[in-house]
Amino acid sequence: MRIKIPRSFVAAVGTAVTLGVLASGERQSLGVVILGVVLAISLERAKAGRRSLLVVPVVVVTGLIGALMHWSPLLGEAVFVAAVFVSVHLRRYGPRAAAIGRMMLLPLIGLFIAPVPVGHDPWSALVWAVVASVVAVGWTALTSIRAPAGEPAPEGTAGSVHTRFAAQSAAALALAFSLGHLIFPGHWPWVVISAFTVSVGARSRGHVVHRSIQRTGGALLGTATSTLVGVLVLGHGWLVAVMIFAYLLAGLILRDRNYAYWSFCVTSILALLYGLAAPAGVSGIEVLGERLAAVVVGCLCGVLPAWVLVPVRTEAVMRKNLARTLAALGALLEKPGEDGRREFDRSVAALRVAAEPALAWRRVVRRPGLADCVEPLASCGPLSDALDPGREPGPGDPAAERARRAAHGALRRNIGATRLALARKPVPELVPVTAPDPESPLAALDRTLRQVHTTVSAALVPAPSLQGSPAPGAGTASG
């Protein structure tokens, strides 16, 4: 299997080397490098494109928040919580506003991974923060020259839901600040980082719990393995750097498969960084037990508001994403083309994320549910490609074209019936789809959509039928 090096890793390495050279004589050179690497990774994942330069003024504002947290901790933390609320709340105003909100979040999390050294010289720290952001933007742009322009994936949630997410994130961070200072006065940022990562960007209350379990499990395993690795490599600067970037590469490759891999790699990286930054006679490994406890407390801070403060049910989010994916498939059948296929693929990707907690729970209880629709719907993309008349050479037959349009119309009508079932509205009968060959892509697509309809009907409380009960077991009509 061929392993593709992520562009974000190349940008991170380039940023680290560049900042390492530029800041080699500075007192806080390690913090500058870390901030630049965090920004490079985040910019690539956010698909910021032309908006990347927005991160520079945002970094300046973030640096001022860091200085305020040093001079007046209570006020600075309140401003930080308010900034996170605004960044999440912006998602309700469309993709452009959501992109600006994501740009605000990048430096905020970097503030805790590489805190602004305001005690030394706050203005110098701001200058170096700007330098780090410019270098990160430059390397991100350089590694993305030949990459296709990124487009935001559909959120699949109503605008008011983002306000609820913003309130939950703000409450989680306020609780994390309070408990962090109370329980871990020397390492309270660890609690805040954990609460930040599990609450900001969550799709539902189940998603918060799922992400918390992954983060805790990854941190536990990372704590155990990094103890051994740290003993072997600490004291050898070049070897530590190699291990850090090896963990980073592994985390970036495996992150989309399971968040626990990313948590494991980040915990291991932080253990090595603590060893580099620790004062003489103090081992970074000694505080890993405290770090694990802080991770658990931070995750609990994220879970509690998600379940008690205007919670967003996982099933509701899945239904919205299923309806959006079905709508994208219907549009693709009506007007085949690359744009429609990309929109369908983005909808499927958003559906997979929304269904993560349900898929995990499905493996435990072995009970059918809406999550069982994810893979069948994903398989509809290649099947729809095979139906695209533009892929078939030669002149079209008018009779065959009429039959094709009739079949596609029947498929779209059945898709509409499934969307009505998702909305818990009265559902009409599914109509037969005439396919010349039972083994054709058209017949396979019809069977798949009927399977999805059956799953949805079984998972949700059925509404009264308009013309009697639908025939979930009906096959494809051949003719």
Task: Provide the greatest CA pair distance for the chain.
Answer: 84
Taken as a whole, the chain contains a residue count of 479
φ, ψ of residue 282 in degrees (nearest 5): -115, 125
Residue 144: C-alpha distances to residues 35, 53, 412 (Å): 20, 14, 38
Q: Provide the pLDDT for residue 477.
A: 36
Q: Which residues pair with 290 in a beta bridge?
A: none
Taking only the tens place, the pLDDT of each residue in 55-66 is: 777 777 877 887
Task: For the chain, give the mean pLDDT.
Answer: 79
pLDDT at residue 133 above 60?
Answer: yes
The mean pLDDT of 66-74, rounded to a whole number, is 82
Torsion of CA 437, 442, 448, 452, to 10 degrees: -130
From the number of C-beta atoms within 10 Å of its C-beta (0-12, 13-18, 19+), residue 204 rates as buried
Angstrom distance (rounded) from CA 175 to CA 129: 28
Residue 323 or 402, more confident: 323
pLDDT at residue 327 above 90?
Answer: yes
Angstrom distance (rounded) from CA 353 to CA 371: 11
For residue 434, the SS3 value is strand
Q: How confident is the model at residue 158 (pLDDT cuts 50, 70, 90)?
A: low
Angstrom distance (rounded) from CA 6 to CA 178: 37
The mean pLDDT of 287-305, rounded to a whole number, is 86
- β-pairing, 434-435 vs 477-478, is parallel
Taking only the tens place, the pLDDT of each residue in 15-60 is: 999 988 888 776 667 778 888 888 888 777 666 555 566 777 777 7
**Cβ(264)–Cβ(181) under 8 Å?**
no
Long-range contacts of 397-404 (CB under 8 A, 24+ apart): 403/434, 403/436
Structure tokens at 473: 């077991």
Q: Please report where in the chains the tokens 């626990």 appear, as a residue.
A: 260
Q: Provide the pLDDT for residue 51.
A: 59
The answer for 449, left when phi > 0, alpha when psi is -120 to 50, beta otherwise, is: alpha
Enter the pTM of the model.
0.77
Structure tokens at 26: 């500075």
Angstrom distance (rounded) from CA 116 to CA 123: 10
Q: How confident is the model at residue 413 (pLDDT cuts 50, 70, 90)?
A: very high
Residue 172: C-alpha distances to residues 81, 175, 211 (Å): 9, 5, 14
Amino acid at 201: G
Q: Provide the pLDDT for residue 392.
A: 47
Q: How confident is the model at residue 96 (pLDDT cuts 50, 70, 90)?
A: confident
Residue 222 or 395, more confident: 222
Q: Provide the pLDDT for residue 473.
A: 38
Angstrom distance (rounded) from CA 130 to CA 125: 9
Angle, CA 474 vertex, CA 473 and CA 479 arms, to 5°: 155
Q: Provide the pLDDT for residue 117.
A: 46
Domain positions in the chain are 1-144, 161-310, 314-389+398-478
User: Which residue in 360, 251, 378 sits closest to 314, CA to CA?
Assistant: 360
Angstrom distance (rounded) from CA 165 to CA 80: 16
The mean pLDDT of 69-94, rounded to a whole number, is 89
User: Which residue in 297, 354, 377 sits closest to 161, CA to CA?
Assistant: 354
The mean pLDDT of 226-231, rounded to a whole number, is 72
pLDDT at residue 470 above 60?
Answer: no
Q: How confident is the model at residue 210 (pLDDT cuts 50, 70, 90)?
A: confident
